[in-house]
Every structure is written in C-alpha cells, then in structure tokens.
A and B are shown apart, each in its own frame.
Chain A
C-alpha cells in the first residue's frame, strides 16, 4: 500500500495543472523510492516525465510497487479543492480501486477527503536514453513563459538558436517575424533570475510553440527552467522542484525540414 504526505498540496496542484492538457490519463508508478509518471500526448509529439522523490514527502511509505491509473481531468478538479496552506496525504490500499486524497489545513481543523476511481491505463513506456546535450540553457521560468507567449504572436514555430554566450528565439510567419535574444547574466542575490548557457557546440532547432506554451505552464512550479538541446534529438525542458522534491520534465520532438 501507499501512504504519502506532501507538505504542500499546491505543489501537486501545479503539476497537474501543467500536465492536464497534454495528458488525459496516465499511471503514477509508485515504489519505495518515490512516485514517477511518464506519459505521451495523444499525437506522440511530447512526453511528460515526473519524478517526486520519497525524500520530498513526510512521511512516505510504499511497500509494494503499484501503478495508479488516474484521469487527469478528475484529479485536476479535486486538486482545485485544496487550500493554499493545506497539506496533502495520498493513500492507496493493496489492490485498491480508488486513490484517496486528504487535504488538511494547517491553521484550522478542516479536513477534506476525496476518493478518485482508478483506471486501467495501458500506455507504452519509452526508454529515454541518457543524452549529452550540445547546449544547456538555464533561465527564469517566467522569462521562458513570456518568450513563448510573445513569439506565438508571429508563428506556430520557434527556432531556438544557441551560440556562444547567447540564445536566440526566432519566430517568423506570414504576417512578420520576431526574435528574442537572451544573454547570460549572474544575478548575485537571486539565483532564480540567473541565466546561464553551457555550450558544447552551437545548435539550431525548430519547435512547435503550441507545445512549448503548454510546458511553460509549469513555470509556477519552479523559479528557473533548464532547456537542453542537441541536433536531431528532442528538446528537454526541465522544471526542478524546490526542496529536492524531484522534477517535471517535458520532451518535445523537433520539427524537421523536408527530407
């Protein structure tokens, strides 16, 4: 059985809100090291990989590996019922057919409990190879969100070009074009505001803005975001959660020119 208490219910709420439009149903795979999730969107362009480590919970108990098939629309609605200061306890019994969620508010005696019916979700699991990316860009997540939003005005596609000491986001469409350049800086006092670019070799790849805008919704989850790019491999967008809880990663297949 699984029993885990998350200090802040809002964390899970933000995760679900960021993912629910890409994924309808998915399995939460729970084992003694934590809770993980991998799911592709229906057109197999984007992949969501979530890891919440056991250390991020207090307490965390999972004696047997279980897969909890969850409908995200339902879970999102339930998570809306969580207060900002609530903590969250999730429970699933041996061979259970429901996932129980309990919200406890820290400053009053309010306790709300919800049970969500589990589903049999059968989705393909993809093996994601370890990749040495040519370029790794770290920037404030709000900045990433804004870039994606602003460039959507011009086109459905953004070209991300990483060169030494700068990253350029370019969008050009029928009505015009636009570009946003981000340069590395060291924000002394605020680590989240830092921009760094680690470059093995320059890369230039095109991606669908529609998906990037979906990913950018996770900006509320973490102050900074890491974009990892290499030629001919999917882009990885990683939001690392505070307190070493884990990460929410998105993978996006690039757009390819005509063969």
Chain B
C-alpha cells in the first residue's frame, strides 16, 4: 500500500513537511477523500465481537455505519468532503493485487485453522485480513452519499491520483487518504487520519509536498524516482536498498537511470525488465478525469430517503439517523466561518518581507535588513530552543 517507508523518510529529511492538526482547524476546507480506502478501513474497524455489523438479511453494514458517522464528524467540523471512488486498477498494479489476493487467501486459511482449534483471538485477527471491498459495498456507499447530499467522483482509474488532481487544480484544499503515494501523484497537501474514529483522538497529519521537496532537496521528478526506489504499488523495489540508501542514491545521482547505471548489479540484483519507466509514467500522467469538468455540489440531505435506506433496509436506529440529518442540515444553514488566509496572503519568509507587515509604521525607519527570524526549520507550534 502506498510507498513503503516514505513517512519515515519525510520525518527524517523534511520534518517541516508534516504538521499535526486538530480536525476542527479544517473548517471550511474542501477535501477529496479516497473512498475505497476509507470503506476498507470501516470494514476492518467497525465491528462487534469480531464480526461485521449486518442487517436482517445478513448483509454487511459496517461500511455504511463508518461512512455515515465519520462523514458527519467532518461535516460537524465544517469540512466539505467529496469522496472519490476507484475505477479500474491500472494493469501495472496487477502484481500488487495478486499479492494482496494471495495474502487474503492465506489469512482465510489461518482463520479456518484457528477456528478449528478454538483460538478465537487469532481467528478474529486474521478475519480482518480477509476483508475485501466489493462492488456492492461501493454502490451502497454511493447511494448513502447521494442521500446525504455529499458529492462523489468516480475516478477512471486510481482514486488517489484523482484526489491529487483535484487538489492540484485547486478544486479542493487537500487530498484525504492514508496512501502516501497521493503525494507522489502531486497532491500539494495530503491529510491522513481524516476518517479515523473520534474516540482515537488521532490528530490529522498534514503533509505538504513543497515542504517535503524542500527538505529532501529534490525536484518532483526526482521525488517520484525516490518513491519508486522505496517501493510503490506498481513495481518491486530493489532488494537491499532501504529508505536510507534510496535517498542517498537519488541525491547523489539525480535520476533512476543514473542510479541504475552506477549501481553494482552483483550486490543489488535488478530485474532486467524492471518497469520503473512505466511506473514513473503512471505517477506523472495518471489516468484521471479533468478536474475542471468536475462540479462539486453539496446538497441538502434527503431525510426520508435516508431513513428508508438506513433504517428500513439496513436496520439502523431511526432516531440516530434523523439526528444525523439534523446535523447535516445545521451545517448547511449556518454561515461558514471564513479563513484569514483567504484574505491575507502569506508573505515569503525572506529578510525583507518580514518587515512588510509593519511598513505602515516602520516606513520611516530604513527598510533595513531584518535578520532572518530565528531561522527555524520547524513549522507549527514552537518548541524550546536547545
């Protein structure tokens, strides 16, 4: 899933790229969320006694529960979510997908064995690994979103890539996904942990691509190469090259071609047909719908429709659903608090510009060199000196 070890690489080389924030600080922000990933999370996490929630007919409803409440949580906090669903997987991913299928089958086997032995704990643990998001799950979720008045987009291919494209085009503020490769696809801002449960109190991790590139001192193209070297969904990584070596190799040689040329093939065996160029193309020009043609509209929720779908069909508590509808309506009706950064622009942190904000009063003093303000490398809240 995603890029192996990228979070750690960023933590080591570009700590300023990551900021932890509370969800309430994102009010008014539009966020494109990788729906397939979220649904998968819900299917794993929303359980009672190790089993998925089901309706009277025995159909799973965990994903609906998760989607409904986590979306409400975002809406309560003033966020405007838009969900993006996966299309067909790229052919390059077939290797990765086959691996996942294999793992799933293995897990199923373990479940059966554990149950035979009566080892409930292991059975539960591995049952979570057998989860698969089906077409029905997706359709259920789309219907729920329609009823809630939340927009969704069907990506032609990978959802992360579409989220990134939406964020890049400025249609949304950020892409919400757990997959770090959303950054590789060029999303300027990535939010993780958006759809986590409130009870876990996990702060939202915000990753900034420009800061990451700054910290690593790489161009975006080199960053893509780095991600391929670290290991992505599209092709295997090179055996023996871990995060540390990957970073130093890319920094030293500047591109994958040169890295390969310089690499000692005996020590690090590279498959002859290592499809890194194809992977790179997928990251650079992913198959996405043109963001400009996508119109995002948040509508009023359909209360009766929701009650019909959630309560009658899927056995949810009517009172809770109606309550949720009220929350949706409330956030629709009350005016949205504006953000200052929409009005005032951040001035670049150069010595001269630091003085600008005071120019009205300080104009009389020489526009002198305001020495770098502490030159701190970290973003966010302060930390003690030394």
- Provide the residues of chain A in CB contact with B358, threshold 8 Å: 29, 33, 36, 51
8 Å CB contacts to A: which residues of B356-386?
A: 356-358, 360-362, 364-365, 368-371, 373-374, 376-386
Are B345 and A127 interface neighbours, CB within 8 A? yes
8 Å CB contacts to A: which residues of B328-375?
A: 332, 334-347, 349, 353-358, 360-362, 364-365, 368-371, 373-374
Q: Which of A31, A126, A157 lies in contact with B362, CB distance below 8 A?
A: A31
Binding site for B on A (CB under 8 A): 24-25, 27, 29, 31-34, 36, 38, 40, 42-47, 49, 51, 53, 64-67, 69, 71, 97, 117-122, 124-130, 157, 206, 208, 233-234, 251, 253-258
User: In the complex, A97→B385 CA distance in Å?
Assistant: 7
Are A122 and B378 interface neighbours, CB within 8 A? yes
Closest chain A CB from B364 CB (angstroms): 7
- Provide the residues of chain A in CB contact with B342, threshold 8 Å: 253
- Provide the residues of chain B in CB contact with A31, threshold 8 Å: 355, 362, 365, 368, 370
User: In the complex, A249→B78 CA distance in Å?
Assistant: 27
The B interface, classified by DSSP as helix, strand, loop or mixed, is mixed
User: In the complex, A222→B353 CA distance in Å?
Assistant: 30
Are A255 and B335 interface neighbours, CB within 8 A? yes
Query: How many residue pairs bridge A and B at CB < 8 Å?
Result: 149
- Provide the residues of chain B in CB contact with A24, threshold 8 Å: 381-382
- Provide the residues of chain B in CB contact with A47, threshold 8 Å: 340, 344
Are B347 and A125 interface neighbours, CB within 8 A? yes
Are B374 and A27 interface neighbours, CB within 8 A? yes
Q: Is B24 an interface residue (CB 8 A)?
A: yes
Are B382 and A157 interface neighbours, CB within 8 A? no
Q: Give the 7 A-B residue pairs with the shortest CB-CB distance, closest first.
A: A119-B382, A253-B338, A126-B344, A255-B335, A121-B382, A25-B382, A120-B376
- Provide the residues of chain A in CB contact with B317, threshold 8 Å: none
- Provide the residues of chain A in CB contact with B27, threshold 8 Å: 43
Q: Which of A69, A122, A126, A208 lies in contact with B346, CB distance below 8 A?
A: A126
User: In the complex, A254→B355 CA distance in Å?
Assistant: 26
- Provide the residues of chain A in CB contact with B362, threshold 8 Å: 31, 33-34, 36
Q: Is B120 an interface residue (CB 8 A)?
A: no
Q: Is B25 an interface residue (CB 8 A)?
A: yes
Closest chain A CB from B154 CB (angstroms): 23
Q: A31-B362, A31-B368, A36-B358 are in contact. Are A119 and B385 (CB under 8 A)?
A: yes
Additional A-B contact list (6), CB under 8 Å, known A45-B338, A49-B357: A29-B370, A51-B358, A97-B386, A119-B383, A125-B347, A257-B335
Closest chain A CB from B169 CB (angstroms): 17
Are B386 and A126 interface neighbours, CB within 8 A? no
Q: Which of A27, A66, A120 lies in contact with B378, CB distance below 8 A?
A: A120
User: In the complex, A27→B369 CA distance in Å?
Assistant: 17
Q: A25-B381, A71-B382, A255-B337 are in contact. Are A38 and B25 (CB under 8 A)?
A: no
Q: Which of B343, B355, B357 lies in contact with A233, CB distance below 8 A?
A: B343
User: In the complex, A64→B382 CA distance in Å?
Assistant: 22
Binding site for A on B (CB under 8 A): 16, 21-22, 24-25, 27, 332, 334-347, 349, 353-358, 360-362, 364-365, 368-371, 373-374, 376-386
- Provide the residues of chain A in CB contact with B383, threshold 8 Å: 119-120
Are A124 and B339 interface neighbours, CB within 8 A? no
Residue of B nearest to A206 (CB): B335
24 contacts between A and B (CB under 8 A): A24-B381, A27-B373, A31-B370, A36-B361, A42-B25, A43-B25, A67-B374, A119-B383, A121-B382, A122-B374, A125-B354, A125-B357, A126-B341, A126-B345, A126-B357, A127-B353, A128-B357, A157-B334, A234-B340, A234-B343, A253-B338, A255-B334, A256-B338, A258-B335
- Provide the residues of chain A in CB contact with B380, threshold 8 Å: 122
User: In the complex, A234→B341 CA distance in Å?
Assistant: 10
User: In the complex, A43→B29 CA distance in Å?
Assistant: 11
Are B364 and A33 interface neighbours, CB within 8 A? yes
Q: Which of B343, B346, B365, B384 lies in contact with A124, CB distance below 8 A?
A: B346
User: In the complex, A124→B370 CA distance in Å?
Assistant: 16
Residue of A nearest to B298 (CB): A258
- Provide the residues of chain B in CB contact with A45, threshold 8 Å: 337-340
Are A65 and B371 interface neighbours, CB within 8 A? yes
- Provide the residues of chain A in CB contact with B343, threshold 8 Å: 233-234, 253
- Provide the residues of chain B in CB contact with A43, threshold 8 Å: 24-25, 27, 339
Q: Which of A125, A129, A130 lies in contact with B349, CB distance below 8 A?
A: A125
Closest chain B CB from A250 CB (angstroms): 11
- Provide the residues of chain B in CB contact with A40, threshold 8 Å: 340
Are A38 and B357 interface neighbours, CB within 8 A? yes
- Provide the residues of chain A in CB contact with B341, threshold 8 Å: 44, 124, 126
Q: Which of A51, A71, A253 lies in contact with B340, CB distance below 8 A?
A: A253
Closest chain B CB from A69 CB (angstroms): 5
User: In the complex, A41→B347 CA distance in Å?
Assistant: 17
Q: A33-B361, A234-B343 are in contact. Are A256 and B335 (CB under 8 A)?
A: yes
User: In the complex, A40→B374 CA distance in Å?
Assistant: 18
Are A69 and B382 interface neighbours, CB within 8 A? yes
- Provide the residues of chain A in CB contact with B361, threshold 8 Å: 33-34, 36, 51, 53
Q: A45-B337, A254-B338, A258-B336 are in contact. Are A65 and B357 (CB under 8 A)?
A: no
